[in-house]
Amino acid sequence: MDTTLQDPLVGQVLDGRYRVDARIAVGGMATVYRALDTRLDRVLALKVMHPTLAADGSFVERFIREAKSVARLAHPNVVQVFDQGTDGSYVYLAMEYVAGCTLRDVLRERGALQPRAALDILEPVLAALGAAHRAGFVHRDMKPENVLIGDDGRVKVADFGLVRSVDTVTSTTGAVLGTVSYLAPEQIEQGTADPRVDVYACGVVLYEMLTGGRPHSGDSPAQVLYKHIHEDVPPPSTLVPGLPYELDELVASATARTPDIRPQDAAALLGQVLRARAALSAEQLDALPPQALSAEHEHRDISADRTSVIPRSLTVPRLLPVNEDEDPTAAVQHTSRLDSPSVAPRRRSARPGRGLITLIAAILVVFGVGAGVWYINSGQFTKVPQLLSKTKAQAQAKLKAAGLDVKQVRFEYSDTVERGAVISTDPAAGARIRSNDSVTLVVSRGPEIVKVPDLNGVPLGRAQSKLKAAGLEPGMVNRAFSDSVPRGAVISTDPEAGIKRHAGSAIALLVSKGNPVDVPDITGDDLDDAKQELEDAGLKVIVSTEQVYSDYDKGQVAQQDPESGGKQVAEGDTVTLKLSKGPEMIEVPDVVGDSVNDATKALKDAGFQVDEDRGLLGIFGDTVRKQSVDGGEKAPKGSTITITIR
């Protein structure tokens, strides 16, 4: 049954722009739809948060913040985020639409992969994660469901930096087992997540690609979590005898239970993967895992079943089989390549060899290769080979062997691919291309390294411009006194001039405040005298329009900011002055005839100090007979009123 018909969003237009055409997948956090951007006329994936989560303000805020950050992460192996928005109760992400399947689909269909295929998938995944780690992102939920394999062969990582709800870990559904299977021990014990948790998850994914199963299993998530903490991931060769030692070492390094023993980030693990691949022979890379050999021997029994259930139009999408608690990552469309025009080679014919072609096509379908595509590519067309990490010479040789020419070689900087190795090709690896056509190679120059320029004595604004011109970013600005560097100019940088750093690194600047100046005390001075003294000290003066009551005469300086008392400021700094309005005059209460206690309280409440005059006759008295300022008259606030007691 087509559940799309019951979805209230299908057929609607979100934000006046995105027409929702079909539901693709449903997960615990969001639902993914295929949609059309009516402004740009392009198909994309629309990920809409479930209403229960959309009602959580803090969740939505973080969702939006991280989505905006990830949108700036431009990498060919990352599913791009185009837009984010809200429409009523709907909170959504507009993302790149990837037609193809997930790594989970491949593993369900084929089980264990050949080492070459596993590494061909792992390398672009690590390239994407490496770029993310260098940009300050941690994926936190790497698993086969988040690895998309396009129909053109490109590998992309989805769901960067998106928040996971608490019940993702505690739920007891099978989908959650698929999530907890990739959690690093420190995620479980401390809840911490740095790039090494992604490294751990990639090690588990590699194990699963090589063996067809996960390293830790159990009847509940708690059992799986316990094994992550207390048991090492076993060598893949224990399940697949004959796997090279280098692959066991890769898995062991990436899944070390102690984070410090793992590679520090995905770029470091990618380096290990490339070295391991270089150490393996073609026979080792292409060795079929046991279940693949088994399938090969039994292809006559299963080929008919495989082909009979696939006939669908290329334009009709099929909903992915996603467990209800799994989080869909991006739009993935499954289509039958056998219904394309290239299906003709599968039709019966009296021509010799046609039956053999049909048989081979069926086997290729079992292994995830479209028969029509294979048949066409066997003649006029071919595919661009995978050249990532190959040297320029190796790539040229591999292209030549495939009957392709090198059109051009471009060199670009890369933080994740070693100098001299291929970053990418145009057309991309796996792309369908005519035989004898040309391919452009993009080769790594290695990380872009620049020297920190000498900015000593350069004014701050010009120094920041020079850093940007050198490919660096102006960082934190601190200030300090200096008797040798003019005020506002750079004293030093951190790191210092001449040190090499990656392009884009932030450089801290220490800027001169000029010569230190002791602030003189000018309270009580006449304004003209105070201004002259401050200016003679190299300071500027501002007179506040606000005046205050004080013990000083009207017009004298009552307050200064900053105050004196040994405090130093920079030459040219400003001192703000407030002038006195003179003392505040307030009415004195009449306390004659009151008891001493009542009189004292009344005077203090009015703002006066109180002094008692008892003389010889008032030692034992308790009544006020006289006050120094008569009641009803005014006296300065805070002044002392003397009461005579008899």
Q: Which residues contact 124 (CB under 8 A, 6 or more apart)?
A: 77, 154, 155, 156, 388
204 and 116 housed in the same domain? yes
DSSP letter assigned to residue 244: -
Beta bridge partners of 216: none
Going from the first residue of the chain to its last (646 residues), give the mean pLDDT of each consecutive group of 10, the final group possibly shorter. 64 92 82 91 90 77 73 85 87 89 90 94 95 86 91 86 37 43 88 90 97 90 89 93 93 93 93 94 87 40 28 30 36 32 33 42 38 37 84 90 89 81 87 85 86 94 91 87 90 92 85 87 91 88 90 91 79 89 91 93 94 79 91 91 90
Q: Kindly report the CA angle at 376 between 371 and 380, in degrees rounded to 5? A: 160
The pLDDT value given to residue 471: 85
Alpha carbon distances (Å) from 43 to 19, 20, 99, 567: 10, 10, 10, 66
The 10 Å Cβ neighbour count of residue 243 is 21
- Write the DSSP assignment of 420-442 as a string of letters: TBEEEEESPTT-EEETT-EEEEE
Question: What span, in angstroms and rounded, lies between the C-alpha atoms of 89 and 453?
Answer: 51
Residues 76 and 140 in one domain: no
3-state SS track over 200-230: HHHHHHHHHHHHCCCCCCCCCHHHHHHHHHH
Task: Return d(Cα 199, Cα 443) in angstroms, integer.
Answer: 25
Domain boundary among 579, 607, 627: 579
- Residue-level length of the chain: 646
Residue 373's CB: how many other CB atoms inside 10 A?
Answer: 19
Query: Which residues span the domain enclosing 342?
Result: 298-328+336-370
Q: Which of 392, 422, 447 is the last residue of a domain?
A: 447
Shared domain for 111 and 258, answered yes or no, is yes
Longest dimension (CA), the chain: 144
Chain-centroid distance, C-alpha 633: 72
Residues 473, 536, single domain; the answer is no
Instruction: Kindly state whether residues 351 and 211 are assigned to the same domain.
Output: no
| Same domain? 119 vs 258 | yes
| Same-domain status, 130 and 203 | yes
Cα distance between residue 421 and residue 173, in whole Å: 44
Say if residue 571 is in the same domain as residue 613.
no
String of DSSP letters for 302-369: HHHHHHHT----TT--------TTS---S-EE---GGGSGGGGGGS--SSTTHHHHHHHHHHHHHTT-
Quote the tokens at residue 320. 């992915």
What is the pTM (predicted TM-score) of this model?
Answer: 0.47
Q: Left if phi > 0, otherwise alpha if psi is -120 to 50, otherwise beta: which for 212?
A: left
Contact 466, 435 (CB under 8 A): no
| Contact of 399 with 405, CB cutoff 8 Å | yes
Question: Tell me, what's the pLDDT at 380?
Answer: 60
Catalytic residue flag (residue 167): no
Same domain? 118 vs 215: yes
Placement of tokens 């290695």 in the chain: 446
If asked whether residues 426 and 322 sit together in one domain, one would say: no
Q: Which of 549, 579, 609 is the last residue of a domain?
A: 579
Q: What is the DSSP-derived secondary structure letter of residue 540?
A: E
> What local confidence, expressed as pLDDT, does residue 175 receive?
34
User: Same domain for 257 and 110?
Assistant: yes
Report the first-to-last Cα separation within the chain, whole angstroms: 107
Residue 637 near residue 584, CB atoms below 8 Å: yes
Q: What is the CATH number of the domain that holds 525?
A: 3.30.10.20
* Sequence-distant (≥ 6) Cβ neighbours of residue 314 within 8 angstroms: 335, 336, 337, 339, 340
- The count of structural domains within the chain is 7
- 196: domain CATH number is 1.10.510.10
Tokens found for residue 358: 């049909």
Q: Shortest CA distance to 593 belongs to which of 543, 530, 519, 643?
A: 643
Q: Catalytic one among 105, 120, 141, 525?
A: 141
Residue 254 contacts residue 262 (beta carbons within 8 Å): yes
Q: Are residues 542 and 465 part of one domain?
A: no
Which long-range contacts does 456-459 make (Cβ < 8 Å, 24+ apart)? 456/485, 456/490, 456/491, 456/492, 456/497, 457/485, 457/486, 457/489, 457/490, 458/489, 458/490, 459/488, 459/489, 459/490
Prior bond of 385 cis (ω within 30°): no
pLDDT for residue 532: 92
Which residues have a Cβ under 8 Å from the Cβ of 525 and sit 6 or more positions away?
533, 556, 557
